[in-house]
């Protein structure tokens, strides 16, 4: 259970430098301003009381002297719309508003902090970031996996990097936390700030992660096209696999946005495949009555249908899921072949194309807010802190609290109830 102490943000020391933003007439956030964790009256358990986060934003007094500060950005893990927007907005806040003269870009994720990679940081300039917000992907490159924290901190010391902004998902944030522990062990005045990134929207204390809304827009267009394909052939079936390892937010959100899906299969609901009331039987009934069907499946759904086996893991330590899309495609074909029924099935997997597109307007706004809030936190000497988006505010979330839990789609939520309402599928909970 999270306590008030778990939501305390470490600081490097007293903030004694007047912020350059004072001369610009900026509004400042007082350290005493907090944002409630629980949004409804009466939600807080009596034993914990009212829990709250620090509100993000500029502080009147900061820890680092901008003229003597070196900051760096690193992007890790899979791609997401908005990565370049974060880099650009963070750079602009550091240089134009705080007056930081040296901002570095770490190449290819945490690998770029390891001398064995042979990669040197890039020196970022206004020209180098001028147009990157129009591009998908990340201009810095990315990779999965963490390296020995001691080696990476040696790199930070050698390059005199004072603030490191770690942009990535749960694996990246765990790596950032490991870096901070090594920094703290050495007593170094270095700030480690996390900026959460995942189109899966599965980072705790982040109501909407950047890239998620863009992914919904693109995925909804894919679903509309798959629906056209399904309705254009007798017993047409569109089967679309979307990203979502442990959480079905993209599948659910895209289905609601398109209003075309008849089935949404997500990791949170282990649906039955065979037998009365199972997925295949309900799909058959749908085809016999309506002549077409559109199925949306998250990549992490249906893993219970595979034989137990030692799971392989990727470089970030995540289990490699079995291919539920290809599995369902073959099982659907076999089911209808057994019944001597012809189906016209189109299988579409747009997952990696979705995450590589530029950010939409909403995500451009969110990335700008997240990036500038991260800069404010770093310059104020906050550390081991991840930017959260909570109750429509940007807040400071201790990285340790964020990586200590998982975020899943709540099946009692309006989102899942909307899926059930729009699809008409059985409630397999």
Active site residues per annotation: 200
Paired residues of 168 in beta bridges: 196
What is the SS3 assignment for 397? strand
Strands 163-168 and 292-298: unpaired
Listed residue (186, 125, 178) closest to 157, CA to CA: 186
Token code pair at residue 72: 């760096």
Q: Which of 415, 416, 385, 412 is nearest to 398 (CA)?
A: 385
Alpha helices (H) along 192-278 = 212-231, 249-258
Identify any residues that bridge with 70 across adjacent strands, giving them in sequence order: 102
Among 107, 109, 88, CA closest to 359: 88
Give the separation between CA 282 and CA 271, rounded to whole angstroms.
12
Return d(Cα 388, Cα 198) in angstroms, integer: 13
Please give the angle made by the CA atoms of 288, 290 and 295, to the nearest 5 degrees: 95
- What is the C-alpha separation between 408 and 203, in angstroms, rounded? 9
Residues 6 or more apart in contact with residue 3 via CB below 8 angstroms: 48, 51
CB 265 within 8 A of CB 251: yes
CA angle 230, 232, 234 (to 5 degrees): 80
Query: Going along 314-380, which residue ranges are E strands?
Result: 344-348
Residue 422: CB partners within 8 Å, gap ≥ 6?
255, 256, 259, 261
Cα 307 from Cα 49, distance rounded (Å) = 45
The two beta strands, 61-62 and 163-168, are unpaired
Q: How many residues does the chain have?
A: 429
Cα torsion 426, 262, 220, 239: sign: positive
């Amino acid at each position: 259970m999270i306590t008030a102490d778990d939501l305390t943000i470490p600081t490097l020391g007293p903030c004694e430098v007047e912020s350059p933003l004072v001369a610009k007439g900026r509004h400042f956030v007082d350290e005493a301003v907090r944002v409630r964790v629980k949004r409804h009256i009466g939600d807080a358990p009596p034993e914990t009381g009212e829990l709250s986060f620090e509100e993000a934003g500029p502080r009147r007094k900061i820890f680092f002297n901008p003229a003597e500060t070196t900051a760096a950005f690193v992007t890790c893990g899979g791609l997401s719309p908005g990565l370049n927007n974060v880099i650009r907005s963070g750079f602009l806040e550091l240089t134009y508003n705080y007056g930081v003269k040296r901002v570095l870009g770490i190449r290819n994720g945490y690998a770029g902090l390891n001398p064995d990679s042979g990669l040197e940081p890039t020196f970022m300039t206004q020209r180098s970031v001028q147009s990157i917000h129009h591009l998908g992907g990340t201009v810095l490159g990315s990779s999965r996996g963490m390296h020995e924290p001691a080696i990476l901190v040696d790199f930070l010391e050698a390059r005199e990097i004072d603030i490191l902004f770690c942009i990535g998902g749960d694996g990246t944030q765990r790596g950032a936390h490991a870096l901070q522990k090594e920094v703290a062990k050495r007593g170094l005045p270095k700030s480690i700030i996390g900026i959460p990134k995942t189109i899966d929207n599965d980072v705790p204390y982040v109501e909407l992660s950047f890239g998620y809304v863009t992914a919904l827009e693109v995925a909804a267009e894919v679903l509309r096209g798959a629906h056209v394909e399904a309705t254009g052939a007798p017993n047409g079936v569109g089967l679309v696999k979307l990203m979502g390892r442990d959480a079905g937010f993209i599948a659910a959100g895209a289905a609601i946005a398109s209003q075309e899906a008849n089935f949404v299969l997500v990791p949170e609901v282990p649906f039955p495949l065979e037998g009365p009331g199972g997925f295949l039987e309900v799909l058959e009934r749908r085809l016999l009555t309506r002549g077409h069907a559109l199925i949306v499946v998250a990549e992490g759904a249906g893993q219970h249908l595979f034989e137990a086996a030692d799971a392989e893991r990727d470089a970030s330590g995540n289990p490699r899921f079995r291919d539920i899309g290809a599995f369902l495609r073959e099982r659907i074909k076999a089911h209808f072949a057994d019944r001597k029924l012809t189906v016209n099935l189109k299988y579409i997997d747009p997952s990696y194309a979705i995450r590589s597109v530029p950010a939409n307007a909403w995500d451009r706004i969110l990335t700008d807010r997240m990036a500038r809030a991260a800069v404010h936190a770093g310059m104020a000497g906050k550390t081991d802190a991840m930017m959260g988006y909570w109750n429509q505010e940007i807040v400071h979330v201790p990285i340790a609290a964020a990586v200590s839990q998982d975020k899943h789609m709540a099946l009692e939520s309006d989102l899942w109830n909307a899926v059930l309402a729009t699809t008409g599928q059985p409630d397999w909970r």
